[in-house]
Structure 1
Amino acid sequence: MTLAARLAPRLPARPVNVATDLLYPRFEPELARLADFCPRGGTAVDVGGWYGPWTRRLARRADRVVTVEPVPHLARRLRATSPPNVEVLQAAATDHHGTATLWLPHGGRGDRGVSSLVRREVHRSAVDVSCLALDELQLRGLTLVKVDVDGSEAAVLRGAEETLRRERPALFVELEQRIQPVGPVLSYLSALGYTGWVRPARRWLPLASFDLAGHQARTAHVAEHGLLRRSLAPHRRYVNSVLFLPSGGRPGSG
């Protein structure tokens, strides 16, 4: 377990939120570039809210934020600390309604942010959680869907297909070849008319010109570092998220 995951549950919510909001844009620099792909107003969705760095930043731009977080104590914490324009749903987003098995890492709490509906070696225990498809929410005026679910990205997107076809929001999706092959998600979103973009340094690049799987293979050791270590050494990038825009769109052109 990383240092941040050990400390966060023991500290009051406010200092944890402040520290997370300060560090996370260094850990995931795209968060500091929201203006490039998330217009003001409308509704934004944060699938996999964790301690809320994306939720709180989105709440400054969107009129409404819907955060989907399956880990019970994290969902409760988000409800208690999020701005008034945030709705927190304690559930796992997938492609069906009902219940699902959420796999948790050592310690059984989910504070590391690697809980998933897809089991892998890091997981040691499980809990049954409610699940839903984003299409059930009948969201309108949707500007952005951020997805961080450690392996079940394809199911989240399938469960949102009707919404994606109708609303055409930007998508910011964590994809890691070491967890699940990225090809099926890329093919699925291409068929829906989306084009991928990444920001490995100071500018956005078309995903088509960036070897995502090769980059991740070369920098996989960085992925094992925790939030604090990666935030304090941001020059060691491990790009594990892709921005998808409707074909023809470019980051920063809105």
Structure 2
Amino acid sequence: MDMQHATQGGDLVDHRLTPIRYGISTALPQDNAVARSLMRYGEWMEQELDLLGSFVQEGETVLEFGGEFGAHALWLSRAVGERGSVHIAEPHRLNLQRACANLALNGITNAYTHAAWLGEQGGSIELLPQGGEVQQMRSISVDSLGLEALHLLKVNIPGSLSSVLAGADETLRQHRPTLYLRLGPAVEQAVQDVRTLKERGYRCWSHLPYLYNPDNYNGQEENMFPGWVHQNLVAVPVESRLQFERLREV
């Protein structure tokens, strides 16, 4: 699907729309794994959604930290339906703009975006350069969102769990959501994250989704991510009946 080209600052701008598994996406810069996967395969981390699809239900509320161009929000919005809602907190300005554009292009009306880092309420955080600029982004807490319900907290930014939990005491106490997160590369931090969740009354299972899905939407056989796998964790309250028999409990 093509739209007209225009010039901006003398440069040619490509306004193509790309079909992906759960709708359409704006043309994305090929500067990270998410963008490359969406452009080549028409999807991103489909094995994560395979797991989430086993327990996310219609009418639920989801909070996602790290928008990733709305790649998973498009699926989540369908999964929870009109009676549910999806909140996306994205600290990087350009990523947030892409996510908002894709949500709008696909007519998503049950998603809400927040330009913020999830941590303790107030103040700001300095983010690593993106697009040649250092960004100062406000920090808000999960609790400050005042969500009437929360069934799933999905943390896409590796190593950020401690920051997210620093402002989520009341929400976790009141709503007891399931958590799905990407662990950081440091073993010590991953061990600490598991310990912290267990101290808060959660059971944890390891999930190792590959970046490449052989059954990808575009039918591409070439694997751009050979051997690439995310070390993820799914955590549920100890009082929940939800279990994952095919995963290893940690």
Contact preservation (8 Å) 1:35, 1:252: no
- Residue 30 of structure 1 and its aligned partner are, at CA, apart by 2.1
Q: Distance in 2 between matches of 1:13 and 1:191?
A: 46
Are 1:239 and 2:230 matched, yes or no? yes
Are 1:23 and 2:31 matched, yes or no? no
Q: 1:236 to 1:125 in 2, by over 3 A?
A: same
Unmatched 5+ stretches in structure 2: 1-12, 26-36, 212-219, 246-250
Are 1:87 and 2:112 matched, yes or no? yes
Corresponding residue of 2:148: 140
| 3-state SS of paired residue (1:142) | coil
Contact preservation (8 Å) 1:230, 1:236: no
Corresponding residue of 1:100: 125
Corresponding residue of 2:165: 157
How large is the RMSD of aligned CA atoms in angstroms?
3.3
Correspondence 1:124-139 to 2 at 5 A: 126-139=134-147
User: Could you list the per-position Cα deviations for residues 21-76 of structure 1 after superposition, in whole angstroms to 9, with x for gaps in the alignment?
Assistant: 833134xx121232223222121011101211221111012211110011112212
TM-score (normalizing by structure 2): 0.69
Provide the aligned length of Structure 1 versus Structure 2: 203
Contact preservation (8 Å) 1:37, 1:170: no
Are 1:34 and 2:55 matched, yes or no? no
Q: 1:159 to 1:127 in 2, by over 3 A?
A: same
| Letter in structure 1 aligned against 2:165 | L
Unmatched 5+ stretches in structure 1: 1-8, 110-123, 202-218, 223-228
User: Could you list the per-position Cα deviations for residues 185-208 of structure 1 after superposition, in whole angstroms to 9, with x for gaps in the alignment?
Assistant: 11111011111112347xxxxxxx
Contact preservation (8 Å) 1:147, 1:174: yes
Q: Decide which structure has greater strand share.
A: 2
Q: Distance in 2 between matches of 1:32 and 1:180?
A: 28
Percent pairwise identity: 23
Q: Distance in 1 between matches of 2:243 and 2:222?
A: 24
Corresponding residue of 2:61: 43
RCO higher in 1 or 2 (8 Å CA, sep ≥ 6)?
1
Match of 2:178 among 170, 185, 209: 170
